[in-house]
Structures are given as structure tokens and as C-alpha cells.
Amino acid sequence: MVGAGIVGASCAYALMRAGVRVTVVDRGGVASGTTGAGEGNILVSDKEPGPELELALRSNDLWRELAEECGGFEWEPKGGLVVAETPEVLDALTAFAETQRRHTRAAGAGPGDPETTPPASGAVAAVPVAAGNLRDFEPHIADGLAGGLHYPQDAQVQPMLAAARLLKASGARLVRTAVERFLVSGDRVTGLRTGQGDLHADAVVNAAGTWAGNFPQAPLPIRPRKGFILVTQPFAVPPVRHKVYTAAYVTNVASDAEGLETSAVIESTRAGTVLIGASRQRVGHDTAIDYPVLARLARQAIGLFPVLKDRQVMRAYAGLRPYSPDHLPVIGPDHRLRNLFHACGHEGAGIGLAPATAEMITAQIAGARPAVDPAPFAPGRFA
């Protein structure tokens, strides 16, 4: 397993439970990349109808199971609240939720055998919230919003703890060193050349996040997208109860724009701080701080929660989200080399999608049929 982020840790956990012995290699140790710079979102609300939504719904169920059987990572089934500033946006949002619900039902028959595949990827729950009722959900939310939608399935974990706990619970060995290249014999990958010598394996999984595309022997079109998060001072009682975001976030997540996009995404953590996102920028591997972007995030946060205005922000961090050309993750066997599997390109949804990704990879390595149709995620689709 190349990578000890949430995807690598989840894969290690699922594989070890399936009886596969796993060694995880990461040059930075557990959660040192994108996993360590995110909010820990487990969302169905922001997913367009399609394969990613199916994966998200399956993952949502799996996260609930992991919280039970592993735990220790601040599982918060808090639900999401998406708000609209104007009646037009609210109409669009409501129509979007309707397509989410319809699609899922159609896909519910799914690729799997209905006897063995539980209706896990059941349905998106989205409940309209009238403007006058928004305060029932968020007492401190701004005046003048047109209304919103409540997504009770949305949840949050502390992502670094989740990766660390899953890795620990898996019992997999973690080797902290750089991976130099794949060991290849003919058209088969036989292991890894690392900074601490060669590791031989029957299968190699590439869960290297932002760097997953850079192996010269099996390149993938994975690139980083930069995002900032602001962290406020801790509150005794944080003023935000759900994950709250504006409709613009849904558009931005799916956007292909090169330039800077920001939308307000606000939530609190168990530590009492409030996390403020989200920005998206394509600037390579640069994680330098950009104060005008942070200022814009602050303005949008105050717009949604005026009570934050006089609160102090203590820190900010930039994370790189690895994305693919069609913004779908890359999961499955490599199309060039046998015994090599990819589990990468999850962009900003890696925490949410990790368990279902791990389930898919485990089935593929074992030669079984995945619970979710893997075809849309096949690495060969860019060839």
C-alpha cells in the first residue's frame, strides 16, 4: 500500500479483514498529506447524481459501521444544511435534490446481486427547510436567506484520527520511507523499491494522493487543487451545529474552472473551533498562504454567521486535493501493469469516499464483485 492517508488506511483495514497481509509505505507517516489538511467531510449532499453519489452513499453506510466497530475518531452524524440566498437559487437547489433522489432509486437496482447487495446505496435523504425554519437548525444563521435543504446523512470525522485509528486497527505494518518506483517483471508489478530497500508483494495499491499520478511506470492524470481552511478560536458552545454551506459550493465542487473559486462552508469541531472553507485554486503543489483568499473566506463566513464577526481566527492551512480530469476518483486495476491497483483522485471527498473505495479495491484484489459498479472509476478511462 503506497500512502498512509485515509484511503491507504481504509484499504489496509478492509484488506486485513479480508485476510490479506498489508504493509503500508508512506514517506511522511500517517495522515501527512491531504488527509491532514481537510475538514473530515462525509457528504452525500454535494454529489451530483451519478457514480460518485452511489459511492458516497455506500461509504456513508460503511462509515457508520466503522464508527461502531473501530471508533475513536470523533464520528459526528451531524447532518448538513445547504442554504440558498435567493428564491432562484433555492429552486435550483430543490431541483438538484430531486435529481439526487431520483437517480439513486434508478441505480438502486445496481450492478450487484439484489440478494447479496444490501440497499445500502439506498437513497439520498433531503428535507426542504423553509426560510422561517432555518433557525430551528442553526440558531445563529443570518437573516434574509431564501431557505435550504437538510441532508441528515451528512457527517464528519476527525480525519487524521480516523486514518490513524483504522491503520492501527488493521494491524498493518507502517514503513516510513519514500517509494522510488514499482518493481516490475514483464507486465506484472512485483513490489516496491523504497528508501529502505525492496518490498515484494502479490499486489500493490497506489493510494499516494496528490503524488499518485507521478509514477513514471504507470502515470495517471492526477493534479492538485489547493484549498484553504480558516480555524477560529475555540468556543465553549460552538455557534454552528451542522455542516452549513451555500449552494455555490455544489457548483464549485463540480467546476472545471482554472481560477479561484470560493464558497462558504462552515462547521464546528469537537474541539470547539469553527472551520471555515472553502476555496479551490489550481496552482500546482504550492501551499503558500494567500491573504486575499483568506479574507474572502472570512467575509463569506460572516455573511452566513454574523456572530463570527468579532471572533478571532487562530490559524489557517492549505491542503492539496488530488483531482482527475473528470473529477471522479480513480479506483481499480491498472490498465498497463498487472497486480497494480489505484485508489486515488478523490479530490475533496477522500474522507467520505474512503471506506467504499477500500471495499471496491478489496473485492477487486480478491477477484470478487464490488458492491458498487467500478466501471466509471476505471483507471484506463483516460488512456
Partner 1 sequence: MTYDLAVVGAGPAGLTAARVAAARGLRVALLDAYAKPGGQFLRGTAPPRLTGVDVMLGQRVWAVEKSSGGFRVHASATTTAATLLVATGAHDRVVPFPGWDLPGVLTAGGAQALVKGERIRPGEEAVVAGTGPFLLPVAVTLLDAGVRVKEVLEANRPSPRMAAALARVPSKAGEALGYARRLAAARVPYRTGHAVVAAHGEDSVEGVTVARLTPGWRPYAWRTVDCDTVAVGYGFTPQVDLLLQLGCAVEGDHVVTDDRQRTSVDGVLAAGEVTGVAGAPGAVVEGALAVHSLVGEPPPRLLAEKARLRRFARALDLSYPVRDGWRDWLTPDTVVCRCEEVTLRAIDEARDLGAHDPRTVKLLARPGMGWCQGRMCGHAVARLTGHEPAPQKRPFAQPITLADLTLHDREDNA
Residues near partner 1 (CB under 8 A) are 4, 29-32, 36, 160-161, 164-165, 167-168, 174, 176, 230-234, 271, 273, 276, 289, 291-292, 294-296, 298-299, 301-302, 308-317
Cα-only R_g, the chain: 20
Helix axes 87-108, 51-69, angle to 10 degrees: 80
Q: Identify the burial level of 307 via C-beta atoms within 10 angstroms of its C-beta, where 0-12 means exposed, 13-18 middle and 19 or more buried.
A: middle
Between 143 and 315, name the residue whose CB sits nearer to partner 1: 315
Minimum Å distance from CB 200 to partner 1? 23
**CA distance from start to end of the chain:** 24
Secondary structure (3-state) at 278: strand
Q: Kindly tell me which of 168 and 193 has the beta carbon lying closer to partner 1.
A: 168
CB 310, min distance to partner 1, A: 6
- How near is the Cβ of 168 to partner 1 at its closest, in Å? 5
Nearer to partner 1 by Cβ, of 219 and 234: the residue is 234
Cell of residue 13, nine digits: 483495514
Cell of 308: 463570527
> Which three three-digit cell numbers place residue 165?
485509528
Query: What is the torsion angle, in degrees rounded to the nearest 10, for the CA atoms of residue 37, residue 373, residue 363 and residue 160?
Result: 10
Nearer to partner 1, 232 or 357 (CB): 232
CA dihedral 233, 238, 239, 243 (to 10 degrees): 100
Query: Position of cell 514503513?
Result: 175
CB of residue 314 to partner 1, shortest distance in Å: 5
Give the 3-state secondary structure of 161-220.
HHHHHHHHHHCCEEECCCEEEEEEECCEEEEEEECCEEEECCCEEECCHHHHHHCCCCCC
Shortest distance, position 343 Cβ to partner 1, whole Å: 19
Burial (CB < 10 A; 0-12, 13-18, 19+), residue 17, is middle
Q: Tell me whether residue 204 or residue 266 sits nearer to partner 1 (CB atom).
A: 266
Q: Shortest distance, CB of residue 235 to partner 1, whole angstroms?
A: 13
In whole angstroms, the minimum distance from the beta carbon of 106 to partner 1 comes to 40
Find out whether 128 and 149 touch, Cβ atoms under 8 Å: yes
- Our CB check for partner 1 shows the closer of 31 and 67 to be 31
Pick 38 or 213: Cβ nearer partner 1: 38
The nearest distance, CB 115 to partner 1, in angstroms, is 39
Place of cell 492517508: 5
The DSSP call for residue 82 is: E
User: Please, which residue, 18 or 316, has the CB nearer to partner 1?
Assistant: 316
